[in-house]
Structure 1
Amino acid sequence: MSPALRRLALCAMLALLAGCQTNSVRVDTPAQSGTGEHSTEGTLPRGKLSFEGGPEISIEIASTMENIRLGLSYRESLCESCGLYFVFPGEDIRTFWMRQMRFPIDIIWINHGKVIGVAADTRPEPGVPESQLATYKSPQPVRNVLEVPAGFAARHGIKAGTKVKVWAE
C-alpha cells in the first residue's frame, strides 16, 4: 500500500471512530473546576412522590445525564421527607455508587409505578479509591431510581411491590 493510500485509510478510520463516540457530559470534580463543589441542590425541577399506604415526599427530578451522574454528591444532607428521583431514557439494570457522598441513603429501584427493590442504608466510603467503591445494582431493569435518607424505606414499610405515584409541581 502506498504512503498516500495509508494516510487516506488512516484519516477515514479516524473519522469513523470520531463518529462512533457517545455524547457524554463531563461533570467536573472540585479538583478539576477549582470552584470548590458542584451540587444539583436547588437547581432541579420539583415534584411529589407518594407510596401506597405510606408517605408523600417532595422530590427533585434528575433527568439529564449531567444531573443523573452528579446525583446527591457533595450535598450535606437530605430532609426526611425529601428525595432525588432519577428518570432514565429507558429500562436497564442501573448501577449506583456513593462517590462524593457525605451521608447514607436508601436507593429505591422503581419501574412502571412499582418498587422493584431497595438497597438499604448505603453508606459513604471516605478515603476509598473510586475503583474500590461498593456498587449497588437494581435487581432487574428499571427506568426510575429514588434516593432518600437512610432508613426511610424500613421506617415506612417500603419494599418490592409497593406502588408509587409521581407528579410534577
Structure 2
Amino acid sequence: MTVRAGVHENTWGHIDYVEAVKPLAHFLRKVTPYILAVMLIGSTIFFAISCKGSTVAFSNDGNVVSLDVMIANLPATAQKGLMDRKELASNSGMLFDFGKETDTAFWMKDTSIPLSIAFIDSSGKVLAIKDMKPFDLSPVTPPGTYRYAIEVNRGWFSQNNIKPGFTTTIDI
C-alpha cells in the first residue's frame, strides 16, 4: 500500500455513490407499493378487530330493546368513533367503554350521520340522552360522570321509547 498526499490508494473515495445507490432505489420503487398495501390491510384488520361487536339490552318495566354495537375499546377507535362513515345500520351503534367513570365530552368532527348519544353509569343506568348534529364541533357534555356512551342514529332512542332512568345490560 502506498500513500500519496496523505490518501491511501485503497480508500473508497473513488466509488460513485449515485451508481452504488441506483440498485437500491430501483428495488424500493418496485416494493414500496406492496409494503404500503400490506400496511393498509394490516391497519384495516387492526381497526376491525378493535371494533368487535356486541349487544346492549335496554330495559324498563319488562320492556327490553336490544341494540347491536361495535365496541370502541382502544384509544384509537374511541377517538375515531363514527367519523368518516356514510351510514349506520338501523339497529346498530357504537359503544364507548371508558373503563371507569369519566366526564369526557363528545363532538361530531368529520361525522356526517346525525346521531343520538346515551350516557350510562357503571351500574348500567341511562343518565341522559342527547341529539347531535352532523359536523358540529361544539362539545356534547353529560350531566355528570359516566362510564359508557352509546352513539346511534338520531331518533333511535325515542323511536324505541328509551329514556333516562332505563337500565342496560352490556354484553362485552
- Relative to the length of structure 2, the TM-score reads 0.67
Q: What residue number does 2:127 align with?
A: 116
Which amino acid in the other structure matches residue 126 of structure 2?
A: V
Cα distance in 2 for partners of 1:80, 1:49 equals 14
Q: CA shift at 1:166, angstroms? A: 1.1
Change (3 A) 1:41 1:162: farther
The residue correspondences of 1:9-158 to structure 2 (distance < 5 A) are 42-43=48-49, 44-52=51-59, 53-111=63-121, 112-120=123-131, 122-125=132-135, 133-158=137-162
- Gapped regions of structure 1 (runs ≥ 5): 1-34
Q: What's the CA shift string for 1:22-49, capped at 9, x where partnerless? A: xxxxxxxxxxxxx8xx989744111111
Compare 80-89 and 39-48 and name the one that shifted more: 39-48
Structure 1 residue runs of 4+, over 6 Å off? 38-41
Cα distance in 2 for partners of 1:72, 1:102 equals 9
Q: What residue number does 1:17 align with?
A: none
Secondary structure in 2 matching 1:161: coil
Cα distance in 1 for partners of 2:47, 2:128 equals 26
Q: CA shift at 1:54, angstroms? A: 3.8
Q: How many residues align?
A: 125
Which amino acid in the other structure matches residue 146 of structure 1?
A: I
Q: What residue number does 1:28 align with?
A: none
Higher helix share: 2
Q: What residue number does 1:162 align with?
A: 166
Which amino acid in the other structure matches residue 116 of structure 1?
A: L
Q: CA shift at 1:156, angstroms? A: 1.1
How high is the sequence identity, in percent, across the aligned residues?
Answer: 24
Q: CA shift at 1:100, angstroms? A: 0.5
State the superposition RMSD in angstroms.
2.0
Q: CA shift at 1:89, angstroms? A: 2.7
Q: CA shift at 1:160, angstroms? A: 1.1
- Gapped regions of structure 2 (runs ≥ 5): 1-39
Q: CA shift at 1:159, angstroms? A: 1.3
Contact 1:54 1:156 (8 Å CA) reproduced: no
Contact 1:41 1:75 (8 Å CA) reproduced: no
Secondary structure in 2 matching 1:116: strand
Secondary structure in 1 matching 2:157: helix
